[in-house]
Amino acid sequence: MPDAFSGAFTGEPVDVHLDRTSVSITRHQAGAENATVVLPVQSFCGVMVQITPGSTPGAIRAKLILKHTDPQLSVLLADTERAEQLAAAWPAWASALELPMLVCDLGGRVKPIEAYSANPAGQPAPRRKLALLTGRRPRFLVRRQRGAKEASLTVHRDEREIIARS
C-alpha cells in the first residue's frame, strides 16, 4: 500500500509518502533546505470527504483528505469533480489506514459518518419472553391452531338436495 503524492494542499509544494504505519511529508521551500515530517498514521483524525460547489453552477467538487488536527499536516488524497469516483476510494482508504470516515459539511464542521447514518444509538430493548417461544405470532393466536383450507364445495345447478332422515 505504500503510495506517493505530489501536491499543494496548503499552497506550498509537498511530497507525501504513505504506508500503513506512517506518513512522510516533505515540504519544498525555495532557497532553503527541504523540511520532512514523519507522523504515525494513528495521529490523524480520519479520512475526510469535503464537498464544495464546483466551478460551474450545479457542479460539485469533492476532496478526499487525510485529516490531521493541524491543517498544515492534512494530506490531500484526491480532488475531483466526479464525486462517484470517491465513493469507492473513501472507504478503501479508511479501512486500509484503519481510520474513521469523516464528513466535512458546508459550514466546515467535521463529523464522523455515523452522525449522518440512520443507525440506532444503542442496543434495542430486549424482546418479551413469550415472543421467542411463539415464533412471532401474537399471543391470542398462539393458542389457536391454523385452520386448513376447506375443499371447495361443488354446486350443481337445478338439482335437489337429498337429506336422509331417520
CATH number, domain of 110, equals: 2.30.29
Burial of 80 (0-12, 13-18, 19+ CB in 10 A): middle
pLDDT tens-digit map of 46-103: 999 988 888 888 888 889 999 998 888 888 888 888 888 888 888 888 888 888 899 9
Is residue 164 a part of any domain in this protein? no
pTM given for the model: 0.61
State whether residue 103 is helix, strand or coil: strand
Which range marks the domain in which residue 88 is found? 3-115
Is residue 40 a part of any domain in this protein? yes
Bridge partner list, 79: 63
Is residue 166 a part of any domain in this protein? no
Alpha-helix runs per DSSP H in the chain: 83-97, 129-134, 139-142
| Whole-angstrom distance, CA of residue 76 vs CA of residue 47 | 10
State the total domains in the chain: 1
| Whole-angstrom distance, CA of residue 98 vs CA of residue 46 | 9
Please tell me what DSSP assigns to residue 140.
H
Mean pLDDT of 117-145: 66
Please tell me what DSSP assigns to residue 10.
S
In this structure, are residues 54 and 82 in contact, taking their beta carbons and an 8 Å threshold? no
Is residue 87 a part of any domain in this protein? yes
Is residue 44 a part of any domain in this protein? yes
In this structure, are residues 75 and 66 in contact, taking their beta carbons and an 8 Å threshold? yes
Is residue 158 a part of any domain in this protein? no
Is residue 121 a part of any domain in this protein? no
